[in-house]
Structure 1
Amino acid sequence: MIYLSHCCKSIIFSIGLFVMVASVTLGFFNDAPGATFICKKEVPKITLRNLSPPYKDYSYFQFRQIFPFEYNASSFSLINAWWLAEISTLVYADETYVRAQFTQAGLKHIRFLNRSSTQCFIAANNRYAIIAFRGSEIWKRGESFNPRRIVADLKTDIDIRLSEWVPGGRVHSGFKAALEDVWDELLQETERLQDQGIKIWITGHSLGAALATLAADRLQTVQGLYTFGSPRVGDRTFESRFRPKAFRIVNGNDIFASLPPAGSFRHVGELRRITPKTGPDDGHGEWELAIQGPCGEASDASEGGDLGSVLWVPSAIRDHVPLFYAIFLWNELVETMKKRD
């Protein structure tokens, strides 16, 4: 029998532990049969059948343990962009489904603000909270028809008059009125969270992005704002005095990012553009995107058999699909990790 000193045993144990951890870690990006690996998601073909949310068969927050939300970040975070794109897509679904997904992701303290033209989720844990505004109801599919809510959203979208904005400048009247519907409750809940030292993040897609922008400007003390397919919100004065740390992500030819027309309206936030074969443009070169991985997932992929599954969707409309933002940012995150490996 061979007896080993305590020192030798410690060295052997340390080497064994290192090998085990390295094997598991590398396995996430290993294409070997039977390995557990992180992979890119398949980009679905968009037709009239799956053009609009909700996307309930999509797997939200996969591998969140490996890519936890970076709640202390003060500069652009690809991980946070992915998280917030998924959240902006998720909140189009019904309250019960959204609550279940947030809870599973570790955000167990949830409040849903629901008014005629505005829906907003506040999901929090003991470190950070995410305020996510839902986009237009006219963009949803597969749920009960609610004409009053659709009319309310249409009125919000088309009322493009500029109104005075208390913090300074002028903003889109419809967006301002929609935020006012939930402002008192939102402010009360946000102040309660901030009093506990919880960091506030704000996000949204489409109309939700516009409301998120106004909310961030009005709250001021937020950790970060990420918007997806956001329309223009305010005038030149609003743009010049806008202070929150904001990132405005635009996918391809997303038409909503060009509305209302430039002139009286201005965008705010640092632009990160997703182009067909690149990731978010940070001014330092192009990032390859959308290379289908071995475990692709086509959420709500088209199913042939009716006119809606074959009609062509213009890229300006297709690129606004919130699921594209989530998938493209996830794929870029995977690619970035592989390059570092």
Structure 2
Amino acid sequence: MAKAAALAYKDEATVAATAREWGFDRVRHHHTRFTPPFPLEDTQAYTVASDKMIITGFRGTEPAQIRDWLSDATTPPYPGPGNTGYIHYGFGRALDSVFPAVKEAVADFRDNDQSVWFTGHSLGGALAMLAGCRMYLEEPRLQADGIYTYGQPRTCDRLLAASCNKGFKDRLHRYVNNNDIVPQLPPEPAYTHVETLHYIDASGRVRASMPLLGALGDHVKGATADLLAPAGDALRDHPVKQYVAALEKNLV
């Protein structure tokens, strides 16, 4: 799923070719452009299908492009999926722009009772989570069997988070790499995360849980790994390739 999230950053030809290599014979691309002053230039995603599973991968964006508007706590709330709670305005607009096409693709491709999966990194992770929640609350026949996000920002209020925690339980997996800055935005308490967390420590080990003191020490360890640029760890930990590499390391 991490590789599928990384694939969302590639061009359409590469997505299609890679999907075929993975055994997915059907591919559909989703792309919407925005006009100023909306902070995002576009939203991109893809849906691929085999006779056993369907994956929708949402593309993210770089920290320098997303950080400023994610930090804005005054952003107006946007109605959450199924009118449950509220979400960040930018996420809501971005998801609305591609969700009808994603829903149509999943419905068209699901002709053999395939399992359904959503994935994404950074902004793409937020969209993957919200798309999965929206399917669960509005289109339960197409609800996801699993949602995997990497470096996902905070997306919603506590009401929607509680609904997702209840509805998905062990099916929602949120990965955070050590000091990655994006999962720390937008600021609390306006926005929050779902409960499920897989933490990648400074040594690259995936942990299902981390005691508070241990986490603090690990954050310091990661931040001081490069003594010449300790503050840069928050950005160095964010690229999707770091997540893919860490997860591959844990498979050994």
So what's the TM-score if we normalise by structure 2? 0.78
**2:85 aligned partner:** 169
Check whether the contact 2:204–2:249 (CA below 8 A) recurs between aligned residues.
Answer: no
**1:331 aligned partner:** 249
**1:67 aligned partner:** none
- Higher helix fraction: Structure 1 or Structure 2? 2
**1:255 aligned partner:** 181
Shift of 1:194: 3.3
Q: Distance in 2 between matches of 1:101 and 1:192?
A: 21
**1:129 aligned partner:** 54
Shift of 1:198: 1.2
CA 1:139 to 1:315, structure 2 compared with 1: closer, same or farther past 3 Å?
closer
CA 1:325 to 1:200, structure 2 compared with 1: closer, same or farther past 3 Å?
same
SS of the residue corresponding to residue 270 of structure 1 reads coil
Structure 2: gaps of 5 or more residues: 34-41, 137-142, 215-227
Residue 206 of structure 1 pairs with residue 122 of structure 2? yes
CA 1:284 to 1:154, structure 2 compared with 1: closer, same or farther past 3 Å?
closer
Map 1:178-189 onto structure 2 (within 5 A): 178-189=94-105
RMSD over aligned Cα atoms: 2.5
SS of the residue corresponding to residue 207 of structure 2 reads coil
Check whether the contact 1:156–1:178 (CA below 8 A) recurs between aligned residues.
Answer: no
1:223 to 115, 138, 145: 145
- Higher strand fraction: Structure 1 or Structure 2? 2
So what's the TM-score if we normalise by structure 1? 0.59
CA 1:166 to 1:93, structure 2 compared with 1: closer, same or farther past 3 Å?
closer
Q: Which has the larger radius of gyration?
A: 1
SS of the residue corresponding to residue 122 of structure 1 reads strand
Shift of 1:166: 4.2
Identity %: 32
> Which digits, 9 at most, give the CA deviation of each residue in 1:172-229, with x for residues without a partner?
1100100111111111111223353111000000000000011000111211001000
Shift of 1:139: 6.3
Amino acid of the structure 2 residue aligned with 1:251 = N
**1:87 aligned partner:** 4
Structure 1: gaps of 5 or more residues: 1-83, 141-149, 287-310, 335-341
Check whether the contact 2:71–2:185 (CA below 8 A) recurs between aligned residues.
Answer: no
Check whether the contact 2:178–2:199 (CA below 8 A) recurs between aligned residues.
Answer: yes
SS of the residue corresponding to residue 265 of structure 1 reads coil
Q: Distance in 2 between matches of 1:324 and 1:101?
A: 20
Check whether the contact 2:156–2:191 (CA below 8 A) recurs between aligned residues.
Answer: yes
**Count of matched residue pairs:** 215
Q: Distance in 1 between matches of 2:204 and 2:47?
A: 32
**1:22 aligned partner:** none
Q: Distance in 2 between matches of 1:183 and 1:125?
A: 21
